[in-house]
Structure 1
Amino acid sequence: MALPRLGIDGEWFQGTDGRRSLLRGVNLGGDCKMPYTPNGHTNIPTDFSDHRTVSFVGRPFPLAEADEHFGRLKAWGFNCLRLLTTWEAVEHAGPGRYDEEYLDYFAALCRKADDYGMYVFVDFHQDVWSRMTGGDGAPGWLFDAVGLDFTKFHAAGAAHVMQYKYDFARGGRQEENYPTMTWSQNYKYPANAIMWTLFFAGDAFCPDFLIEGRSAQTYLQEHYLGAMEAVAHRVKGLSNVIGFDSLNEPGSGYVGLPLSYRHLGPSEKNPFPARPGLAWSPLDGFAAARGLAREIPEMGIDWDARAVVKKRDVLVNADGVTIWREGRQCPFERAGVYRLDGGEIVPLDEDFFVRRRNGDRYDMEHDFMGPFFARVAQRMRAINDEWLLFAELDPGAGLGRGFPQETPVRTVNASHWYDIVTLSTKRFDFPVKINPYTGRTIEGADAIEASYTRQLGRLKDASRTLNLGTGAPTLLGEFGIPFDIDDAAAYKAWNAGDRTDGPWEKHIIALDLMYNALDQLLMHSTHWNYTASNRNDQAVGDGWNQEDLSIYSIDQRIDPSDINSGGRALKGFVRPYARTIAGRPLKMKFKRETGAFRFVYEAEGEGETEIFVPNLQYPNGYEVEVEGGTATRDDENQSLKVHAVGSQKVAVIVTRK
């Protein structure tokens, strides 16, 4: 098909024909975080000893199945993919040893996406650094390079890893072994925090720590960028590939943290509510990493108090296991952060990660993220100068002052947003929503939608300073809901034979409210996620850490002849929207209950505006009215083609028959 390449014009993506595009897409896919062979799903135990020989060929699905899945995504109206890969997928075999078979496979996926009219931006995905530290992303041999022994992380309590904690034979939910949605707590655990600190700020904090003659920061970033370049060279000639994500949800490590501070609630040092899990301080992390037992407060949700409170103290690393390899010293100890004295850890510089020697405070965004963005853009654009940078900051830090001034031009704000209560607790309390982190209550669909719109509006506001102040598109890189809410009640109803929308009502409402907010703000988005291997199984879900946000499940695909079979809560996200606009979009609104859709735009030139009108929402057809123009229906492709006639302002109204 050879889609026209997209550039940017303020908050819009713009094609070479001058028309603006609204990108509504999906993340493909959730299981791309894990190897295809051997099956890397996190409910399956492993010691990761095969990390150099794994293969990701087949994630998100074998090429033989691509037409089925791309056809389904096209039928659901998506025109964009945030296509996942990982550093490990490319460079798992060792430094500079790229998996050529995987690179061929990934490029073939991108070409196939073009056949189905889908733009692609490449997401080098990670969560809490790597599979060995409870997530996905970086290859295992990097720990050897740094001097860490990942085989000791579990015993030392230095990482919270499902593959070690989960009882595979027992299956199901295991709250006592691996509590719901606890993977993100790894950002605070030492194995994670040490690697992130070295990756982004090694030159600032331990410049004398060298790996193969280069600083640790340079070594780590150069290998990361090298893996990106390997992918970039394979897809550089594809016009539907519009750019690269900088790095999914990067961590800040210990940057900006006082050495002994434990966050137990809002304070002068940290005004935000505490989060569930162990309240690690950097000093706790260094102690556990060096083999010292440490008592750390554990925080948890008190639903009655509507707050996160201290539950107990937990003894970490009772057996005194060090995660540093024999003969390797902690570089931060050598740099003067702390010392050991008689089996105790002694802090030497409480503000080591907070202030420079001249007293100036470190700024994660300005000092470290801005230069990193610049490096990613420079290296990718040396291969294809037209590519866009999809930039992400540490989501745990919030957008704060927005993107750093050092962010290069032609950048897209690709930040993420979730209803954090629904995501972390797997509950969507409707119509009354309680936030246990803040104690606030919201009641009613209108109030919840307004809250979502305010939150997303603040995220969109951060785009205004990008691209030398001309603004940038805000593409919500991730959002979505767990489908196993309320202890997987919908799956139990499905297994009992209920094939109505009833079990999915909460899911449909939640997604509808989120998309309503996106429509009101005219924001681009890529829904998290589509996982071809998803199962209606609380032990599996998307195949990773018991997450289950896939809009498709193979367990629900009961009619192979029906393109919608396997879809979950489709009425919540398969909805009309204007995807290509010959002018400037002004307003878009869809009322799911009635099917009423209205889109208004300011026409420019004589081009064609295309609106996706899904059969799913209009099973008996629809009526269309155009004020200031004419419309032609293309029912086969579920689209409406609009031309302005004698008017600068065009309004398109679609109603259900």
Structure 2
Amino acid sequence: MVSSAAPTRSILDTSHSYFLQPSPNPGESPIALLLRGVNISSTSKYPTLPNSLSEYSSLEGTSRSDRDRKRRILAGQESHLGEDEVGLYSEAEQGGGDGWFVGRPFPIEEVDVHLLRLKAWGFTTIRYLIVWEALEHAGPGKYDEDFIDYTIAILRKCREHGMRVFISPHQDVFSRFISGSGAPYWVLVALGLNPKRIHQTGSAVVHQCWSTQGYGGEEGIQSVKEGKLDDWPDMIWNTNLHRLAARHCFTMFWASDYFAPKCKIDGLPVSDWVQNRFIAAYGHLANRLKNAGDILDDCLIGWDSMNEPQEGLIGIPDLNKCPPAQSFKKGPSPTPLQGFILGNGQPVDDVEMGDFTSTGQKSKGTISITPPEGKAVWLTREEAKQAETKWGWKWDEEWDFWDENGNGGCIWAGHGVWDPAHKSILRTQYFKPPGKGPTDFIEAFWKPHYTKFIKRIRESHPNAISFVNPPVFEEPPDLSEEVKKGRMALSSHFYDGLTLLNKRRHVFNADAVGLQRGLTNMISAIRFGEKSVKSVMRGQLGELKSDANKSEGIAGENDDKNYPTLIGEIGTPWDMKTTKLFGLAKGKADRKDYKEPAKAMDQVMNACDGHNALSYTLWVYEPLSTHAHGDGWNGEDLSLISYDEIPNEGEEANDDLLMLNPPDLKNLINLGTRGIQSWCRPYPIESSSKIEKFSFDMKSGNFNLVITIKGLEYKPIINDKSNDNIINNQEEEKEEISINQKGYTKLYLPYVHYLFNSSISPNTEIKSITDKEKTRIIGKPDNNNEEWVKGNGPATIDIEILDLSEGSLEVIGQWGWWRYNIGNEGEREGRLRIRPWKG
């Protein structure tokens, strides 16, 4: 449908508040870019089918039910599938297989249509998820070259379609064996854990174990007093950050040399050993991408830092109590001490059951948790010996925390933090020592790791933009110019917490960023009403954006080193509940339409506009998302698209086939989408001027844009009498060219909002608008003459110009070019206002 010839582009500059692309014409101003796009994808967090089930991947069928079944197979090891269904543990214990993640994010034969769809939605940028497990699942230093070959093929396709990509070294809650994603199975073993006993000991609530070993399960945690919980609770995975398994793994990853000095592997502190493995894996990927020869810079513009890093136990002031960071509680919420006790295989009777509602945090009483057979989450001595033989490492002699029977093995008991015999804490402030201890997680532990990571990446990719992804809502640290090298961008994440956690819109909201940073209190943070909610969201994103400009942050002391911000993750759930009592009570998920979720998405998208004028990558593009299991990961349901949005009107229905083979633009753009009117929206893609602010009203289609056009500065003409004719002629020619230099702003004007209705005026002349003619403009067809509906001719844009301060606007396809003279008049304001033609 669309040509995919590879564009030629210059290396982006980031030493300003925008991403800047050098002008193709020497001497002209660089072009400011907004990079907007998507994350791909949720299934990238998981392998495809285990080897034992691979024969089903070729399932063919002509009925809709057969095709839906095949798509579920292609979805692979989703987070609700455990040992019985997909060999969750047994496959990983064997190291997986060659090409275990090949097909993530989607099969190579499908890539073209997905990228065409993203371009038609106005997106130019992809945050590409690659988990550590995909690279190194077979064991330390054993890289999956088949997966890397596949990744190179995908990135070459992205280049052909003109997409810019940055790679996310992705993790959530450290590993999928803690109901997250990221680290391979063998890493958890190297840190002293038996992954098979994480759920049973309450060290994490693992989705794959929920049905067989969850609340009320015969082998698992005892029932909640008021009854068995059958459904996987919304967003409960997030609370695993505050349970033992994740806390332990993150602490060992960042800071074992300080907090667990007895723990060494192959003579190195565990934190050094495991970080070296992590950095080497992505460094190997960077080498392969460099050697591919046609990916770096033109397509792959940079690398994110580790996704949403967490501090683990570091900084907890009192191990007897839940720390302030654990203010969000859902499900069983053990204190750090209770986590140690349960992890040691000992029962606890008074674990708080938390819940998060529209009115805030609630307690639902307590429950008892009894690890089955008294088994600990820690490796036994025998299991540790077997692991050394299998994986090829050697624990140092001091790593010996077992009892005379080879049981126990708790690393923190072994370091004198707590006493298993008396179930008591011995050193309350162990992870936040008074005085000069390294308790600032970001400065003391995250920053040194990040510095080593980006240094290694740039050995292979010298021009890489480093996207800095600090802990959620935290401020990034001061970084030296040697680290930044003028190629830096902030990639903070933002979700509206109330909407994400409760899956419904509210008539009120709060300034979560301000609260976390101590900029406001709870009374002043609460806002009521639609306008106030939009305002507080825009303010939060503005605060996050300011982190790139603060002298004590990544900007540094030089005013000309203000770096751009790209919000790496932002979105809203589409499985929102029906609401009652002004949004305080919720019913079941309502999928009759997506009006409410679209309004919620519109709120966060508006927050990215205005003076913020932010770049972003939406979470998430996952075509295999289903109503039953969401995006395939812990019940999240944020995908912009899903096959389940295409009605199944019988076994003979075949509309779902059009997702991968759309006959026209209408099917390419609309089929399978959810609330498309909220996120497929107009915006300035690039401009030779400064983008001051812009806004879009989803209901009316009104789009307003204000820019600052900066005139060129000139030096006086110098009359050199010895050669005055030549010099004066040259200077006059240069000045004339400069005064007449053209500026432009390129716009995305989506068919979703501005499609020409041929029934209104089928014979209207297609033309551009000028300064004197500011009413209606009907765009030209795209150069490829794409049809909106097959057989009905090419699609065009139909808009009314409400204000055009100067210059002219030309529209071709979904792209508008506002052209104007730069001149030498200093700074002046440029304005453009449009809306759909009303007839």
* Both proteins in one fold, TM over 0.5: yes
Do 2:575 and 2:590's aligned partners in 1 also have CA atoms closer than 8 Å? no
1:594 corresponds to: 700
The DSSP-based 3-state class of the residue aligned with 1:129 is coil
Do 2:42 and 2:632's aligned partners in 1 also have CA atoms closer than 8 Å? yes
2:282 corresponds to: 228
% identical aligned pairs: 29
- Given the alignment, which residue of 79, 83, 86 partners 2:131? 86
How big is the alpha-carbon RMSD for the aligned residues of Structure 1 and Structure 2? 2.6
Q: Output one character per residue of 1:123-142: Cα deviation in whole Å (capped at 9) or x when no partner.
A: 11111111111111100011
- Given the alignment, which residue of 113, 132, 149 partners 1:68? 113
1:477 corresponds to: 568
| Residue correspondence of structure 1 range 31-50 to structure 2 within 5 A | 31-38=43-50, 39-46=76-83, 47-50=88-91
Shift of 1:331: 3.2
Shift of 1:145: 1.7
Taking the aligned partners of 1:90 and 1:182, their CA distance within structure 2 comes to 28
In the alignment, structure 2 segments of 5+ residues that lack a partner are 1-6, 24-29, 51-75, 214-227, 382-399, 402-409, 516-521, 579-585, 647-654, 711-740, 757-797
1:249 corresponds to: 308
- Given the alignment, which residue of 360, 373, 383 partners 1:307? 360
2:601 corresponds to: 511
Taking the aligned partners of 1:182 and 1:402, their CA distance within structure 2 comes to 27
- Given the alignment, which residue of 613, 626, 635 partners 1:522? 613
- Given the alignment, which residue of 12, 17, 22 partners 1:11? 17
Residue 582 (str. 1) matches residue 693 (str. 2) = no
2:41 corresponds to: 29
Gap change, CA 1:95 and 1:296, over 3 Å in 2: farther
Shift of 1:404: 4.2
1:532 corresponds to: 623
Gap change, CA 1:326 and 1:646, over 3 Å in 2: closer
Taking the aligned partners of 1:69 and 1:150, their CA distance within structure 2 comes to 36
1:346 corresponds to: 424
Q: Output one character per residue of 1:167-186: Cα deviation in whole Å (capped at 9) or x when no partner.
A: 69xxxxx9535212101111
Do 1:276 and 1:298's aligned partners in 2 also have CA atoms closer than 8 Å? no
Shift of 1:103: 0.5
In the alignment, structure 1 segments of 5+ residues that lack a partner are 169-173, 264-268, 495-502
Do 1:294 and 1:318's aligned partners in 2 also have CA atoms closer than 8 Å? no
The DSSP-based 3-state class of the residue aligned with 2:623 is coil
Residue 53 (str. 1) matches residue 96 (str. 2) = yes
Shift of 1:458: 1.7
- Given the alignment, which residue of 227, 250, 261 partners 1:196? 250
1:497 corresponds to: none
The DSSP-based 3-state class of the residue aligned with 1:254 is coil
- Given the alignment, which residue of 618, 641, 646 partners 2:817? 641
Gap change, CA 1:354 and 1:12, over 3 Å in 2: same
Shift of 1:434: 8.9
Taking the aligned partners of 1:607 and 1:411, their CA distance within structure 2 comes to 27
Shift of 1:489: 8.9
1:555 corresponds to: 644
| Residue correspondence of structure 1 range 93-492 to structure 2 within 5 A | 93-166=138-211, 175-236=229-290, 237-238=295-296, 239-263=298-322, 270=324, 273-301=327-355, 303=357, 306-319=359-372, 320-327=374-381, 329=401, 330-341=410-421, 344-355=422-433, 358-360=435-437, 362-395=439-472, 398-399=473-474, 402-405=476-479, 408-409=483-484, 410-429=487-506, 431=507, 442-465=527-550, 466-469=554-557, 470-486=561-577
Gap change, CA 1:160 and 1:388, over 3 Å in 2: same
Shift of 1:60: 1.2
1:498 corresponds to: none
Taking the aligned partners of 1:90 and 1:576, their CA distance within structure 2 comes to 38
Taking the aligned partners of 2:174 and 2:325, their CA distance within structure 1 comes to 26
Gap change, CA 1:649 and 1:9, over 3 Å in 2: farther
1:500 corresponds to: none
Gap change, CA 1:450 and 1:492, over 3 Å in 2: closer
Taking the aligned partners of 2:326 and 2:131, their CA distance within structure 1 comes to 31
Taking the aligned partners of 2:590 and 2:571, their CA distance within structure 1 comes to 21
Do 2:575 and 2:591's aligned partners in 1 also have CA atoms closer than 8 Å? no
Shift of 1:402: 4.2
Taking the aligned partners of 1:128 and 1:141, their CA distance within structure 2 comes to 16
Gap change, CA 1:371 and 1:302, over 3 Å in 2: closer
Q: Output one character per residue of 1:499-550: Cα deviation in whole Å (capped at 9) or x when no partner.
A: xxxx11112211111111111111111110000211122xx11011111100
1:613 corresponds to: 749
Taking the aligned partners of 2:306 and 2:104, their CA distance within structure 1 comes to 19
Q: Which has the higher contact order (CA 8 A, sep 6+)?
A: 1
Taking the aligned partners of 2:543 and 2:238, their CA distance within structure 1 comes to 23
The count of residues paired between Structure 1 and Structure 2 equals: 627
Shift of 1:490: 10
The DSSP-based 3-state class of the residue aligned with 2:91 is coil
2:342 is aligned with what amino acid? A
Taking the aligned partners of 1:89 and 1:586, their CA distance within structure 2 comes to 42
Shift of 1:315: 2.1
1:628 is aligned with what amino acid? E
Do 1:110 and 1:235's aligned partners in 2 also have CA atoms closer than 8 Å? no
> How does the TM-score come out when normalised to structure 1?
0.90
The DSSP-based 3-state class of the residue aligned with 1:50 is helix
Shift of 1:476: 0.9
Do 1:24 and 1:525's aligned partners in 2 also have CA atoms closer than 8 Å? yes
Gap change, CA 1:272 and 1:451, over 3 Å in 2: farther
Taking the aligned partners of 1:415 and 1:45, their CA distance within structure 2 comes to 32
> How does the TM-score come out when normalised to structure 2?
0.71
Taking the aligned partners of 2:241 and 2:591, their CA distance within structure 1 comes to 36
Shift of 1:258: 2.7
Gap change, CA 1:284 and 1:450, over 3 Å in 2: same
**Rg larger in 1 or in 2?**
2
1:309 is aligned with what amino acid? K
Do 1:481 and 1:549's aligned partners in 2 also have CA atoms closer than 8 Å? yes
Shift of 1:378: 0.6
Taking the aligned partners of 2:22 and 2:634, their CA distance within structure 1 comes to 42
2:90 is aligned with what amino acid? S
Shift of 1:405: 4.3
Taking the aligned partners of 1:581 and 1:59, their CA distance within structure 2 comes to 34
The DSSP-based 3-state class of the residue aligned with 1:530 is coil
Gap change, CA 1:455 and 1:166, over 3 Å in 2: farther
1:171 corresponds to: none
Q: Output one character per residue of 1:104-162: Cα deviation in whole Å (capped at 9) or x when no partner.
A: 11122122112222111101111111111111110001122222111111222212111
2:752 is aligned with what amino acid? L
